[in-house]
């Protein structure tokens, strides 16, 4: 007689059946009792499923699980075939495994939505668009997602000096990939992708400004045949792209990132000291060399500069200061840019006064130091007889003052013993001819 203890079935029976003192039929991969009570069976943990033993119900479960996952493919035009194939094969066949997580990319995306998104604008509404909506759009457009990763890596390279080279390299690789895809499809802009184009265009500007400021250039053209930081044509080029799809953008998901500047100019007066500076520049333009064409170009640039000062000095809360600061580069005439390329003194002096507006953005990590960078290079280009005309903008920037209100210096930096009045704020490092100073004092008007 064979004892129950030594019986093969009782020795190999399911543990759940043993606990309940129920006879186990030992059907695999799950015995009938466990199947009936919808509980796990220890047979399933020891017996691997194969294609030949899988039940139709198992296949239905797998297909249902796969369909319930969110789509990661986006638009077919934005993703490579390799990526699509790898996504489609994730759940093919039994025992399929997910590919390894791309931790650097996940870290970059996390950093963008928790840190970088707050550094691209001063408006809370824009913060939410960059934090939530732009990444949502990027999941449908590969080039925008790579642009996001590039800016996030660039931000990390500034925040983590010990890994600056590493994150800088990652940023460059992601930016190259974003631009490569962007160039291929930018001729096919339409309502379906205009939001992605707007977001990437803005990120391209940010990336361009954060480039190293090591060249002896003015940041707008090649200097002695060498590459430079061409921020002026960059802003104008991006604006052209945006305007080409403006009817779609203004009704799109990201229309809150931009403001239509075609509106009535605020009826306010500029601080006296600033108004006088601009009046002096008008007098300078009237006697400029180059004929009537040059004079008109200078005056058009100066008119645009006055508009920008008025908007910055009377900025409503719904307008972004970055948008206002970049208004002047898109308003100036092409003839004026041509004269900047020729480094004519009058053109450079007007640009130096624009740097007072650009300096408002110095708190942004990607704009830090740009106003001073341009001013310093203007100093190198001008003969000493012309330096007198850029004393005022140089001084305003050198003492780190950003807001023009009633002609006073706001937010003075500790340690700078400078008068609160622009009229008397003179940078002692500048060499000013005594004859010019005496002449100005005799006329009882503030120096430029």
Res 222: pLDDT: 38
- DSSP label of 430: S
Residue 18 covered by a domain: no
Q: Degrees (nearest 5) of the Cα angle 71, 73, 76?
A: 140
Model pTM? 0.68
Res 266: pLDDT: 57
Q: Is the per-residue pLDDT at 49 higher than 70?
A: no
Residue 52 covered by a domain: no
205's CB contacts (< 8 A; 6+ apart) are 234, 235, 238, 326
Share of the chain above pLDDT 70, in %: 67
The whole-number average pLDDT for the span 424-434 is 34
Query: Distance between CA 279 and CA 11 in Å, rounded?
Result: 102
Res 137: pLDDT: 97
Last residue of a domain, one of 257, 281, 308: 257
Residue 267 covered by a domain: no
Structure tokens, 171: 């940023």
Same domain as 293, residue 190: no
Closest CA to 324 of 404, 252, 225, 401: 404
Residue 301 covered by a domain: yes
Res 170: pLDDT: 96
Q: Is the per-residue pLDDT at 73 higher than 60?
A: no
Last residue of a domain, one of 230, 257, 284: 257
Query: Distance between CA 416 and CA 398 in Å, rounded?
Result: 10
DSSP conformation letters of 231-260: HHHHHHHHHHHHHHTHHHHTTSTTGGG---
Residue 83 covered by a domain: no
* Residue 364, Ramachandran bin (φ over 0: left; ψ between -120 and 50: alpha; else beta): beta
Same domain as 343, residue 212: no
156 is in which domain, residue-wise? 103-257
Same domain as 280, residue 391: yes
| Domain tally, the chain | 2
Same domain as 312, residue 234: no
Same domain as 421, residue 278: yes
Looking at every residue in the chain, the average pLDDT score rounds to: 74
Band of pLDDT at residue 108, cut at 50, 70 and 90: very high
Residue 386 covered by a domain: yes
Band of pLDDT at residue 315, cut at 50, 70 and 90: confident
Same domain as 294, residue 202: no
**Dihedral angle over CA of 371, 374, 377, 383, nearest 10:** -90
Band of pLDDT at residue 281, cut at 50, 70 and 90: very high
Residue 45 covered by a domain: no
Same domain as 277, residue 252: no
Tell me, rounded to whole angstroms, the distance of Cα 180 from its chain centroid: 18
Provide the 10 A C-beta neighbour count for residue 224: 8
How many CA atoms within 13 Å lie on the side-chain side of 363?
A: 11
Same domain as 225, residue 107: yes
| 333-346 as b/e: b if 16+ CB within 10 A | eebbbebbeeebbb
Last residue of a domain, one of 209, 228, 257: 257
15-19, 286-290, 298-302: range with highest mean pLDDT: 298-302
The whole-number average pLDDT for the span 278-305 is 91
Structure tokens, 155: 């931000």
Q: How far is CA 420 from CA 28, 388, 407, 410, 432, in A?
A: 87, 21, 8, 8, 21
Res 270: pLDDT: 81
Res 312: pLDDT: 85
Same domain as 278, residue 410: yes
Closest CA to 42 of 66, 26, 21: 26
Residues 371/407, Cβ–Cβ less than 8 Å:
no
Same domain as 166, residue 311: no
Give 325-373 pLDDT, tens digit per residue: 999 999 999 999 999 988 999 999 999 999 999 998 988 999 988 899 8
Q: Is the per-residue pLDDT at 302 higher than 80?
A: yes
Same domain as 300, residue 218: no
Same domain as 316, residue 416: yes
- DSSP label of 265: P
Res 141: pLDDT: 95
Residue 4 covered by a domain: no
Give 184-227 pLDDT, tens digit per residue: 888 888 888 999 999 999 999 999 888 655 555 555 443 333 44
405 phi/psi in degrees, rounded to 5: -140, 115
Tell me, rounded to whole angstroms, the distance of Cα 308 from its chain centroid: 22
Instruction: Considering only CA atoms, give the Rg of the chain.
Output: 33
Long-range CB contact pairs, 295-301, < 8 A, 24+: 296/335, 297/333, 297/335, 297/336, 297/338, 297/339, 298/336, 298/339, 298/346, 298/347, 298/350, 300/332, 300/333, 300/336, 301/332, 301/333, 301/336, 301/347, 301/350
Residues 358/369, Cβ–Cβ less than 8 Å:
no
The whole-number average pLDDT for the span 296-325 is 87
Query: Distance between CA 300 and CA 338 in Å, rounded?
Result: 14
How many CA atoms within 13 Å lie on the side-chain side of 387?
A: 17
The whole-number average pLDDT for the span 387-401 is 85
- Residue 404 bridge partners (DSSP): 409
């Amino acid at each position: 007689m064979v004892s129950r203890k030594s019986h093969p079935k009782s020795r190999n029976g399911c543990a759940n059946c043993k606990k309940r003192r129920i006879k186990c039929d030992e059907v695999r991969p799950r015995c009938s009792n466990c199947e009936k009570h919808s509980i796990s069976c220890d047979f399933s943990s020891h017996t691997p499923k194969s294609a030949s033993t899988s039940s139709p119900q198992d296949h239905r479960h797998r297909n249902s699980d796969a369909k319930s996952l969110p789509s990661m493919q986006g638009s077919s035009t934005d993703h490579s075939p390799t990526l699509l194939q790898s996504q489609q094969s994730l759940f093919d066949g039994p025992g399929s495994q997910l590919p390894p997580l791309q931790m650097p990319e996940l870290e970059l995306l996390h950093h963008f939505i928790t840190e970088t998104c707050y550094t691209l604008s001063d408006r809370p509404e824009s913060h939410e668009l960059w934090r939530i909506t732009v990444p949502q759009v990027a999941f449908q457009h590969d080039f925008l997602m790579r642009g996001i990763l590039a800016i996030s890596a660039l931000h990390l390279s500034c925040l983590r000096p010990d890994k600056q080279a590493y994150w800088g390299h990652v940023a460059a690789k992601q930016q190259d990939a974003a631009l490569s895809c962007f160039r291929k499809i930018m001729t096919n802009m339409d309502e379906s992708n205009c939001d992605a184009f707007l977001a990437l265009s803005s990120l391209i500007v940010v990336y361009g400004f954060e480039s190293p400021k090591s060249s002896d250039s003015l940041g707008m053209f090649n200097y002695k045949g060498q590459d430079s930081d061409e921020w002026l044509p960059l802003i104008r080029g991006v604006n052209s792209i945006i305007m080409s799809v403006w009817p779609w953008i203004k009704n799109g998901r990201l229309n809150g990132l931009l403001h239509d500047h075609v509106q009535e100019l605020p009826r306010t007066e500029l601080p006296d000291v600033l108004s006088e500076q601009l009046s002096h520049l008008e007098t300078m333009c009237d006697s400029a060399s180059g004929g009537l064409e040059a004079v008109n170009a200078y005056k058009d640039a100066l008119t645009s500069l006055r508009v920008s000062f008025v908007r910055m000095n009377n900025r409503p809360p719904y307008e972004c200061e970055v948008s206002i600061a970049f208004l002047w580069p898109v308003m100036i005439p092409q003839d004026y840019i041509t004269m900047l390329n020729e480094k004519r003194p009058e053109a450079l002096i007007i640009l130096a006064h624009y740097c007072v507006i650009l300096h408002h953005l110095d708190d942004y990590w990607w704009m830090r130091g740009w106003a001073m960078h341009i001013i310093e290079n203007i100093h190198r280009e001008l003969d000493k007889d012309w330096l007198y005309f850029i004393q005022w903008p140089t001084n305003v920037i050198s003492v780190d003052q950003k807001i023009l209100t009633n002609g006073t210096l706001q937010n003075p930096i500790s340690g700078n013993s400078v008068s609160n009045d622009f009229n008397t704020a003179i940078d002692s490092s500048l060499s000013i001819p005594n004859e010019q100073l005496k002449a100005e004092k005799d006329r009882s008007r503030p120096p430029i």
